[in-house]
Amino acid sequence: MARQLIACEAKCRSCRETFSHPGIIDSSYGELVLSSPDGKAYVLASAFGTFPERVRKALSTTEPGRLWKVLAALADPDPSGPYTTTMHCPRCQGVDLEYWNGREAGIALVPEATYSEYEALDDGELGRQIALRA
């Protein structure tokens, strides 16, 4: 499934590239856009649903930022590598942005994150995998 989000403009401080990205939903609403390391792909992670709830229970801390980092690490990776909670410039892959969530630039269709490698694990093994990353 894909979700329709507002695309916003961002500018890279390193290479001066201007690019559009799906507007980051405030994570307090329970959703966060994850970026591929090459800055060319995005997926939408939700804090709700069967798998994220299992991850939440397995986490030893309730710090919200931790949940997003773990979900990013467990999501089915992009060909360029695991998803991250940080936005990357699609030209130089840098993370030092001059601004983001800027001018609206149309619509971005963002697929929802999937966790096919990890959702089949039982709670014990999932907990061990999370402990390696949390």
User: Looking at beta carbons only, is 52 or 90 nearer to Zn ion?
Assistant: 90
| 55-89 per-residue burial string, b: 16 or more CB within 10 A, e: under 16 | bbebbeeeeeebbbbbbbbbbebbeeeebbbebbb
User: Per CB under 5 A, does 13 bind Zn ion?
Assistant: no
User: Looking at beta carbons only, is 22 or 39 nearer to Zn ion?
Assistant: 39
Q: List strand residue ranges (DSSP E) for the chain, in order.
A: 2-12, 18-22, 31-35, 42-46, 97-99, 104-111
Among 9, 11, 17, 95, binds Zn ion (CB under 5 A): 17
Which one of 28-36, 61-69, 74-82, 93-101 is the stretch in contact with Zn ion (CB under 5 A)? 93-101
Min dist. Cβ of residue 11 to Zn ion (A) = 9
User: Per CB under 5 A, does 94 bind Zn ion?
Assistant: yes
Residue 83 CB-half CA count within 13 A: 26
Min dist. Cβ of residue 92 to Zn ion (A) = 3
Q: How many residues does the chain have?
A: 134
- Summarize as ranges the residues that interact with Zn ion (CB under 5 A): 12, 14-15, 17, 89, 91-92, 94
